[in-house]
Chains A and B, each alone.
Chain A
Amino acid sequence: MIAELGHFSLILALGLATCLAVIPSLGVYRSRMAWMQLGGSLSLGVFVFVSLSFACLANAFINDDFSVAYVARNSNSALPIQYKVSAIWGAHEGSFLLWILVMSGWTLAVSLFSQGLSVDMRARVLAVLGTLNVGFMLFILLTSNPFDRSLPVFPLEGSDLNPLLQDFGLIVHPPMLYMGYVGFAVPFAFAIATLTSGRLDSAWARWSRPWTNVAWAFLTVGITLGSWWAYYELGWGGWWFWDAVENASFMPWLVGTALIHSLAATEKRGVFKSWTVLLALFAFSFSLLGAFLVRSGVLTSVHAFAVDPERGMFILIFLVLVIGSSLTLYAFKASGIKSDSGFEITSREALLLLNNMLLVVAASAVLLGTIYPLIYEAFTGGDKISVGPPYFNKVFVPVVMLLFVVMAVSTGSHWKKTSLDRLVKRHWIPLLGSVIAVSALLLLFASKFEPIVVFTNSVALWILVSLSTDWISKVQHKRDKLASLIKQPLSYYGMLLGHTGIAVAIIGVSITIYYSEEKDVRMEPGSVVTLAGYDFRLNSMSKITGPNYLADQGEIEVLKDDESIVTLYPQKRVYRATGSVMTEADMDPRIFRDLYVALGDPVGEDAWAVRIHYKPFVRWIWFGGLLIAVGGFVTVADRRYRKRVQRQAIVDTAGALA
């Protein structure tokens, strides 16, 4: 019964979402105040019924209702409770319900926090979000209903959640990612609303900014968590694979990064208006494209959902309708937008433009590499190729290196006009100092001297130095230095944190890539392997029993200079319900290095294949990612900014409706 209730409330939510898509827009065209104002309560209704539906599916999972086919496929009565909950989004149908929950949540949030927006603008925005809700709900109801029962006969036991997904990282990773993906629907809706209203001033940038920043910050968290999960769960010690699904989340992130920067320029200086609108459309388009790539099966990936042509077709049509119509609208409405002001070639605007260009180029390069197998296949009549990580490294890395240089230079640049002399004067000492410092550090501490690492880390250090001198310069000439530090706007601190995070991640990525060591070895109890100055000794192998699996567990003691520092317990698990074999790596994480041990197959009597990694600075990658995300969240809390928004809202409303 409860599953039917879930299905039913999803249908109700679809009905309400349809109203949300239609009534406020009709209100705008017929100038009916009451219709326009219905958006708020309709958004609430949609959210309530979607939540109810989600709760029903959760209930089916928690109570092991295996008559629901989706539950039977992805859960098992022996599954620990936290994984029963996360199993809701363990496969296609449920994860899409989560997607819809997030979508309706963002819609509600917009209706709640946009009270200050002019009535017609709010109606337009909510109508666009309502339309997207309708599309997603139709998709799930028509092609992937998670509430389908397998009656009258159903399995007494479920077939279990994929063991790879039985993990903390996978509990939190998809919700974060979806918050980001779907969150880009908000700037998208604002952009469409602006285009339809014909009021292409910079007010929309002011409105979209906090939403975009939050969505982008969530996406950052999602990607960071995904990378961390891949690192410890896949057992290969890799943290980024340029896999189609990873790329699907990375492309909207790159475009979103361009968007938050260009929004800043549009809001503060009234420039790039048309471009910013386009980016807002792109960011969400890339999210949808990602959903298509992941869920249609056109690309193969380790994370991809099961193939179903019907679903792929639906998303493709949805993609064409949403993106096609919004780009058409853009082509017809965005002409004639004029910038409010000009700028010099060395101004902050120009640097931001450069940033945007580079990010879009980077995103396009990733897109090209991701879909190139499709293009190749189409033109050769079915020959299969894969585009390996070397392509991405070759194309993506130079572009982002350039981007980082731009980032370092832009710190402390001025709007409108920054003289070249000033930039040179400001930067040559930090730059030179960074190169010398990094070279010295590498010569002192590193096992080898890598010119590329000198370059990347010098840029990272240069960014850090620029950021701190800029920070100091803000208070240098003030009397009360502490008070002026506190008085700096939070959006400024958000920028500092975000850019610091990038520098930290650059350090982590480049050092991990160039200084990691790894060995695949055959080990028997008693054998010792030396890697990066550490001795790994396999003391013993044992069999252990987990809640829903059996495992072979190795006890590997790590010694440095004959002193034991840690004992690691990597496992090879066999999950009872499915018989799936899983490598459960164990690691010793430290700030400056990880030791990582994974168990392979048994290779003869008592002997096991063992993979050992030494990964310096690998934690910095995810720490950097989290800093970036925190930076994004912090900007939203900017008090000064919120005040200005409110003040502006009054002006907007007065202007539009008098």
Chain B
Amino acid sequence: MSDLVGDAVNAGGDKLQDDKQLQSALNPPARQTLNKILLIPLAVFFVLVFILAIGFRLEDAHLLPSQLIDRPFPEFELAELHDEQRTLTVRDLQGEVSLVNVWATWCPNCVIEHPELTRISNDEGVPLYGINYNDDSAKARAWLQRYGNPYRFNIVDNEGKLGIDLGVYGAPETFVVDASGVIQYKHVGEVSTRVWEETLEPLILHLRGQLEEKAGTD
């Protein structure tokens, strides 16, 4: 049946009288015969998809761990970027829920997140501290002059020692530190408005709530 239609089409020249005939010429009924060999490519393809999907699932598991969560911020004694006489320690980070941002002038995405950090620091009333990581202090000061300085202070970590204690992979990374100086969260990559709204802000509000409750019960 289908062969007949096919032949009619291939032969050409046959006048097709009405739409119905035209339609059957354009859309011959599906062949019912199924050659099983032709299913092989499909089967191979699905095996491939299976492998890709597994690889994909595993890739998700490679997301970075936020180590040091619920651990006190590591001890350090480092200089301040603009006031090198001043020595900063972990005590300087305590007292308020704060954001600690690891940045460097060699880090392209630090430029990207800078406006959002500036906004958070200005509008949201969250103290923002910087760790200038594996960098050159003179360059870092010039960078801040150029893009603005939203940080209350900047810890100079030119040797990357604090970074190693913090388990920093690269920059930018941002830590949420609670009032007692315990790391509550770590964000890897740039802080965007979305990250702020969906993750950081709720967490900070939550931590502040805890702080108020504590103050209330005292």
Contacts and interface: CB of A to CB of B under 8 A. Distances in A.
Contacts of B9: 199, 655-656
* Interface bracket on A: 35 or more
B170 interface: no
A245 interface: no
A198 B119 contact: no
Nearest to A651: B12
A155 B147 contact: yes
Interface of B: 2-3, 5-6, 9-16, 19, 22-23, 25-28, 30-31, 33-35, 38-39, 41-42, 45-46, 48-49, 51-56, 58-61, 104-112, 114-116, 118-119, 139, 146-147, 192-193
Nearest to A197: B26
Given A154-B115, A155-B147, A319-B49, A31 B23 contact: yes
A264 interface: no
Contacts of A577: 108, 111
A205 B61 CA distance: 46
Contact of B108 (A73, A201, A319): A73
Which 9 A-B pairs have CB atoms at the shortest separation, nearest pair first? A655-B12, A579-B106, A374-B55, A159-B108, A335-B35, A153-B115, A378-B54, A327-B42, A198-B28
Contacts of B42: 324, 327-328, 330-331
B10 A159 contact: no
Contacts of B119: 152-153
B120 to A, nearest CB: 10
Contact of A334 (B15, B38, B146): B38
A336 B26 contact: no
A78 interface: no
B53 A579 contact: no
27 contacts: A29-B23, A150-B116, A152-B119, A153-B115, A153-B116, A155-B147, A157-B111, A157-B147, A159-B108, A197-B28, A198-B2, A198-B6, A198-B27, A198-B28, A199-B6, A274-B38, A282-B41, A299-B55, A307-B59, A323-B45, A324-B45, A331-B39, A332-B30, A374-B55, A378-B54, A578-B106, A656-B25
Nearest to A324: B45
B59 A375 contact: no
Contact of B16 (A28, A201, A658): A658
A520 interface: no
A159 B26 contact: no
Given A309-B59, A335-B31, A578-B108, A316 B25 contact: no
A167 B72 CA distance: 47
A150 B106 CA distance: 21
A601 to B, nearest CB: 16
Given A320-B49, A332-B34, A377 B193 contact: no
A69 B193 CA distance: 12
Contacts of A11: none
A333 B30 contact: yes
Contacts of A377: 54-55, 58
A133 interface: no
Interface stretch (A12-20, A221-229, A290-298, A427-435): A290-298
B146 A157 contact: yes
Contact of B147 (A156, A328, A332): A156
B13 A580 contact: no
Contacts of B54: 374, 377-378
A632 interface: no
Contacts of B26: 28-29, 31, 120, 197, 656
Contacts of B109: 73, 159
B56 A296 contact: yes
Given A150-B192, A159-B108, A651-B12, A332 B41 contact: no
Contact of B22 (A298, A324, A657): A657
Given A382-B58, A579-B104, 19 more contacts: A31-B23, A150-B193, A152-B119, A155-B147, A198-B6, A285-B45, A309-B56, A312-B59, A313-B56, A316-B56, A323-B45, A330-B42, A331-B41, A333-B31, A335-B34, A335-B38, A371-B48, A371-B51, A371-B52
A281 B59 CA distance: 28
A298 B112 contact: no
A30 B59 CA distance: 46
Given A157-B111, A323-B45, A331 B60 contact: no
B193 A330 contact: no
A73 B112 contact: yes
Contacts of A296: 56, 59
Interface in A308-322: 309, 312-313, 316, 319-320
Contacts of A29: 23, 26-27
Interface string A144-171: 0000001011111111100000000000
Contact of B13 (A73, A120, A157, A658): A658
A296 B192 CA distance: 22
A199 B10 contact: yes
A371 B53 CA distance: 12
A281 B44 CA distance: 14
A52 interface: no
A654 interface: yes
Nearest to A152: B119
A363 B3 CA distance: 36
A658 B2 CA distance: 19
A509 interface: no
A324 B46 contact: yes
B146 A309 contact: no
A289 B19 CA distance: 41
Nearest to B193: A150
A201 B23 CA distance: 19
Contacts of A371: 48, 51-52, 55
A30 B19 CA distance: 9
A336 B10 contact: no
Contacts of A378: 51, 54-55, 58
Nearest to A124: B26
A374 B22 CA distance: 50
Nearest to A335: B35
A580 B106 contact: yes
Interface string A62-75: 00000001001100
A155 B31 contact: no
A490 B52 CA distance: 43
Nearest to A319: B49
Contact of A335 (B12, B22, B33): B33
Contact of A331 (B34, B59, B192): B34
A466 B5 CA distance: 47
Interface in A321-375: 323-324, 327-328, 330-336, 371, 374-375
A278 interface: yes
A316 B22 contact: no
A72 B115 CA distance: 12
Contact of B61 (A28, A120, A159, A382): A382
Interface in A71-123: 72-73, 120
Contacts of A333: 30-31
